[in-house]
């Protein structure tokens, strides 16, 4: 008697998990409160002893900040949800198929949904025995890159059958990243109806003590700006945004710089945010809306915010290149 036929076992697959910061589920105070509670409870983000910080967070921050933040989110919310969530999902879709049917691309958020642990489980269920965790932060920072990796490995601790895992290193000085930024910058400037007298490169701020503690973030930001300036032949002013709390943060501050420029005789400005892989609240509301208001109120005449790489052709070509490099040895021969 012939043995029963068994369906062929499919070959194992490779997963690529794009990770970005996160977003509330809705631009409403309740959703924002849940998001901020998770985000600001991360000891990588707020490096204050939890016994000291949690009463402040729950007693002051979470009772006052959600309403203000919800108002800001409403100004940039889209039919697809928050810009960060929508763009990151589009990036994952655009990368699908880039390396054949054996590579599955998905996305997750460090805080909020879709959660990293849920998407790792989903990739495993699709047959992925190898997963590249790809935090989309060009400049390494413990509060962004490290905490995304922490969360992935925290979940892996609970899996009996763990996939093989790699993590995407920072790409702040990668030639493909610099070239994509340069192309995006030149295209953005060419589309303006004025010639900027100054170009600001605004990076997300961090407490100054992180530099003293050994975080390379400040150095990575400066190197990105220097390489971009060299690639385009344009002078860039590096600034840092999104200050939170009373600690001394990296300077110069973006908002203070915008307020001071007209007093220096600079009334036409363009601003880009090269540290963000996708436009989000911090770029679309803080820079494009409030930054413009600050600059014009101080006497500026022309202001332009230049979008992030997002899912632009230049941005996606860059991601395909750097991700393929990290997948070497995992991909079948072409």
Domains of the chain and any CATH numbers:
13-171 (3.40.50.1400), 175-306 (3.40.50.1400)
Q: Is the pLDDT of residue 7 over 80?
A: no
Contact 18, 148 (CB under 8 A): no
Q: Is the pLDDT of residue 4 over 70?
A: no
Per-residue pLDDT tens digits for 238-277: 999 999 877 899 999 999 999 999 999 999 999 999 999 9
Rg of the chain (C-alpha set): 21
Tokens standing for residue 334: 């072409």
- β partners of residue 200: 237, 271
pLDDT at 5: 67
Identify the CA nearest to 15 among candidates 126, 161, 98, 135: 126
Q: How confident is the model at residue 47 (pLDDT cuts 50, 70, 90)?
A: very high
Q: How confident is the model at residue 316 (pLDDT cuts 50, 70, 90)?
A: very high
pLDDT at 103: 98
Per-residue pLDDT tens digits for 111-146: 999 999 999 999 999 999 999 999 999 999 999 999
The tokens 């407490």 sit on which residue?
207
State the average pLDDT for the chain.
Answer: 96
Q: Is the pLDDT of residue 8 over 80?
A: no
pLDDT at 245: 79
pLDDT at 6: 67
Q: Give the whole-angstrom CA distance, residue 48 versus residue 51.
A: 8
pTM greater than 0.85 (yes/no): yes
- β partners of residue 106: 17
Strand ranges for the chain from DSSP E:
13-22, 103-111, 128-135, 164-167, 198-204, 237-241, 268-272, 302-306
Strand ranges for 118-207 from DSSP E:
128-135, 164-167, 198-204
């Amino acid at each position: 008697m012939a043995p029963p036929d068994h369906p062929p076992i499919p070959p194992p697959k490779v997963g690529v998990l794009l990770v970005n910061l996160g977003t509330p589920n809705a631009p409403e105070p309740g959703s924002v409160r849940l998001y901020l509670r998770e985000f600001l409870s991360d000891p990588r983000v707020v490096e204050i002893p939890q016994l000291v910080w949690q009463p402040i967070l729950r007693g002051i921050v979470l009772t006052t900040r959600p309403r203000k933040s919800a108002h800001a989110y409403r100004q940039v919310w889209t039919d697809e949800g928050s810009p960060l969530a929508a763009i990151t999902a589009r990036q994952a879709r655009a990368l699908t198929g880039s390396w054949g049917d054996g590579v599955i691309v998905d996305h997750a958020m460090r805080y909020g949904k879709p959660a990293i642990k849920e998407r790792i489980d989903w990739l495993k269920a699709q047959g992925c025995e190898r997963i590249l965790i790809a935090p989309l932060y060009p400049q390494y920072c413990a509060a962004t890159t490290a905490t995304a990796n922490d969360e992935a490995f925290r979940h892996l601790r609970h899996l009996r059958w763990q996939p093989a895992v790699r993590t995407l290193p920072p790409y702040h000085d990668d030639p493909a990243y610099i070239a994509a930024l340069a192309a995006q910058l030149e295209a953005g400037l060419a589309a303006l109806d004025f010639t900027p007298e100054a170009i600001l490169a605004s990076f997300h701020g961090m407490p100054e003590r992180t530099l003293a503690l050994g975080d390379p973030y400040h150095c990575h930001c400066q190197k990105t700006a220097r390489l971009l300036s060299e690639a385009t032949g344009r002078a860039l002013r590096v600034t840092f945004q999104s200050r939170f709390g009373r600690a001394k943060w990296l300077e110069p501050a973006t908002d203070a710089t915008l307020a001071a420029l007209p007093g220096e005789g600079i009334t036409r400005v363009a601003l880009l945010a090269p540290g963000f892989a996708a436009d989000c609240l911090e770029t679309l509301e803080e820079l494009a809306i409030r930054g413009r208001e600050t600059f014009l109120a101080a006497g500026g005449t022309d202001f332009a915010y230049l979008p992030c790489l997002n899912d632009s052709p230049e941005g996606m070509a860059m991601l395909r290149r750097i991700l393929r490099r990290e997948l070497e040895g995992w991909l079948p021969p072409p």
